[in-house]
Amino acid sequence: MRKLVQVSKSSNQESLAFDSDFLEAPVATKKTPAKNKKSAATKSLSKTLKEDSPPVIKTVAPNNTLNDLTGSEWKFSTKSVINKPYPVNMQHKLRSQHGGQKPPQLCADLIQTFTKKGQKVLDPFGGVGGTLLGAALIGRRATGIELDSRWIEIYKEVSKLENLEEQDFLLGDSKQVLHQLEPKSFDFILTDVPYWNIDKLAKTRNKTAKASKLVTFNDSEDQTKEQWLDEMEQVMSAAHGCLRDGKYAAVFIGDMYRESRYHMLSASLADRLETSGKWVLKANLIWYDVSKMLHVYGYPAAFVPSMIHQNILILKKG
């Protein structure tokens, strides 16, 4: 039988009660005034609540339909800010030819939160295969789609060098390829949308505008923000058809500061995808990329943010 465990955090704070086998959202309870001293059991449980301590509860609830995480691991996976450092590894130099590659271990962590072993992951904007490498690391199957064969070749080389099982990586435009995949055959979508190429647009408007490193992998036509949103909606709608009912999608999207203003692309994209009626927004995770260098842009007169984070929209098939 499962036990309800109560953990005191400090004498002034409310305590947290949670089910030790299957951790649901913490329930605030009143602290019992008599218990000022922590028992040995409470101390040990408090320790498990500390951010960096390794999970100690190892039971996966039999009614866990989402993933293979224990209650303790589940709790860590729901943090709204991801500040874990991801090592520069897995043939990073090779993958960084792309310019928009994501750490495979970060992808693995996300996949682990939203799938069970053996389930299938889809990435309609594959790049050099961060999602596919992440899936292979933790025993999931994945299918990627990518417009540019250069990136697929690099992915294949990395897989070979890292001795990882090669996943299906299809060459083509997702807007067409997704319609050829079996409907409702995937358990999770993990993708990283191509950036809205504002720099290219600005360049055509103003020859003196500076080019950005972000355009390395994105040779698409000049697009207005609306056109970019239209395309993202089109691809995500087609991907929606490939996902099983009630399953999730996680979408990497970086906000931008360009032409003297902040573009909250994460909010625009979330709004557009919800308005399509196909997706319900469940979270906006912030990935704090600890490897990013700080830059000084506006000094000494203006505040311009040094972007060291990306957003990860969590959407559920509605």
Structure tokens at 17: 């009660």
What does the per-residue mask of binding to ligand SAM show for 252-291, with x meaning CB under 6 A?
----------------------------------------
Candidate residues 74, 114, 151, 228; the one interacting with ligand SAM per rule CB under 6 A: 151
Rounded-to-integer distance, Cα 317 and Cα 187, Å: 11
Q: Least separation, in Å, of the C-beta of 252 and ligand SAM?
A: 7
Based on the shown chain and the rule CB under 6 A, indicate whether residue 148 belongs to the binding site for ligand SAM: yes
Q: Least separation, in Å, of the C-beta of 142 and ligand SAM?
A: 12
Structure tokens at 246: 């009630």
DSSP assignment, residue 276? T
Candidate residues 16, 23, 72, 102; the one interacting with ligand SAM per rule CB under 6 A: 102
> CA of 79: how far to CAs of 12, 75, 147, 221, 284, in Å?
23, 7, 33, 37, 10
- Judged by beta carbon, residue 22 or residue 125, the one nearer ligand SAM is 125
Candidate residues 114, 125, 186, 248; the one interacting with ligand SAM per rule CB under 6 A: 125
CB within 8 A of 119, min separation 6: which ones?
140, 141, 187, 188
Candidate residues 8, 72, 91, 101; the one interacting with ligand SAM per rule CB under 6 A: 101
Based on the shown chain and the rule CB under 6 A, indicate whether residue 175 belongs to the binding site for ligand SAM: yes
In the block, tokens 């625009």 appear at 268
Based on the shown chain and the rule CB under 6 A, indicate whether residue 312 belongs to the binding site for ligand SAM: no
Segment near ligand SAM (CB under 6 A); pick from 13-21, 93-101, 221-229, 297-305: 93-101
Based on the shown chain and the rule CB under 6 A, indicate whether residue 181 belongs to the binding site for ligand SAM: no
Based on the shown chain and the rule CB under 6 A, indicate whether residue 196 belongs to the binding site for ligand SAM: no
Candidate residues 128, 269, 313, 314; the one interacting with ligand SAM per rule CB under 6 A: 128
Candidate residues 70, 111, 194, 270; the one interacting with ligand SAM per rule CB under 6 A: 194
> CA of 304: how far to CAs of 44, 148, 199, 215, 262, in Å?
44, 33, 17, 21, 9
Rounded-to-integer distance, Cα 124 and Cα 170, Å: 9
Based on the shown chain and the rule CB under 6 A, indicate whether residue 134 belongs to the binding site for ligand SAM: no
Are the C-beta atoms of 75 and 61 separated by less than 8 Å? no
Structure tokens at 50: 């500390």
Is residue 140 classed exposed, middle or buried when 0-12, 13-18 and 19+ CB atoms within 10 A define those classes?
A: buried
Structure tokens at 103: 């750490």
Candidate residues 98, 140, 200, 247; the one interacting with ligand SAM per rule CB under 6 A: 98
Based on the shown chain and the rule CB under 6 A, indicate whether residue 109 belongs to the binding site for ligand SAM: no
Based on the shown chain and the rule CB under 6 A, indicate whether residue 100 belongs to the binding site for ligand SAM: yes
Q: Quote the crossing angle between the two packed helices 130-137 and 104-114, to the nearest 10°.
A: 60
Interface residue list for ligand SAM (CB under 6 A):
98, 100-102, 125, 127-130, 145-148, 151, 173-175, 192, 194, 217, 235
